[in-house]
Amino acid sequence: SSEKAISLIALEENNIPYVFPQRVIDEAEAAKAAGMAHRDDWRDLPLITIDPADARDHDDAVYAKPDPDNAGGHIVTVAIADVAYYVR
């Protein structure tokens, strides 16, 4: 795709390494799943992504449900994934 071509050109023009040393690959393969301590688990919410179709990451989502304490109102949950927490 043209996006990939642009990325490759940017890597080359800016001397950004994209081939990783074996020690980096080994460390990535040895990484363990991130824990849920001090985090809310929203995996059971039927979240809908709000990122545009051409987004490079789909980490923003919303969920809304009627507010039982406010007739006609809604409770809206906005979820923005903390990617940096999982990808160190």
Structural domain of 37: 2-85
Rounded to whole angstroms, how far apart are CA atoms 2 and 67?
45
pLDDT of 74 higher than 90? yes
Q: Express each pLDDT in 23-57 by its tens digit.
A: 999 998 998 877 778 888 888 999 998 988 888 77
pLDDT of 87 higher than 70? no
Q: Is the pTM of this model over 0.75?
A: no
Q: How many domains does the chain have?
A: 1
Residue 56 CB-density burial (10 A; 0-12 exposed, 13-18 middle, 19+ buried): exposed
